[in-house]
Amino acid sequence: MSDGKPVEAPSRERSDVSGSPVVRTASRTVTPFVIAFGVYLTLFGTSLPGGAFQGGVVMATVVVLVAMAFGFTPTQAWLDERALAGLFVLGAAIFGAVAFGAVALGGDVLELFVFPLSVENMVKLVEVAIAALVTGVVIGLFVWLADGVHGGKST
């Protein structure tokens, strides 16, 4: 790895795991439910245990699971890194817009009561923004750290 090559199954452990049909089938089956659970935690955090941080992290663990089951390189080829960066920039932009849009509408920073939408809908908007940011950052930390300097393309 010190010669700067991409991390193509650098360890026996990881290639062993990605070869197991049990792990692959299990992660294939579980993935949609985990994503649904993440969306549920994000959108219904106002009335049930959960919230956007939890939902975002749960959705991000799907990518970790898929990478463990199918190998890191195919997962990274399947992921659109620009979309990933766009995800957390979008989350930050929505939250920032809500925070300072309240000032523009005559309230204090993040005063959700001044918006024309109900407080519950504003909170859900903020929650979706938080979930997008958290998902993007966690997947990004995983993918880019595993990838290395300059995407592993040069030393």
Partner 1 sequence: MNPLEIALVAFVITGALVLPLTRDLVGAIVTFAVLTLGTAVIWVLLAAPDVALIEAAVGAGVISVLFVITVVKTTGFRDADDEIESDRRFRPISLPTLALVGALAVPLGYAFLALDPVGAADAPAVSGTFPTGERTPYAFYIEESLEQTGFPNAVVAVLVVYRGLDTLGELIVAFAAAVSILIVLGREDLL
Which residues are near partner 1 by CB under 8 A?
1, 7, 10-11, 13-14, 41, 45-51, 53-54, 57-58, 60-61, 64, 68, 81-82, 84-85, 88-89, 91-92, 95-96, 99, 109-110, 112, 119-120, 123, 126-127, 130, 133-134, 136-138, 140-142, 144-151
CB of 21 vs partner 1, minimal distance in Å? 21
Q: Which is nearer to partner 1, 19 or 96 (CB)?
A: 96
Q: Which is nearer to partner 1, 71 or 134 (CB)?
A: 134
Q: Which of 11, 12, 25 is nearest to 65 (CA)?
A: 25
CB of 80 vs partner 1, minimal distance in Å? 10
CB of 142 vs partner 1, minimal distance in Å? 6
CB of 123 vs partner 1, minimal distance in Å? 5
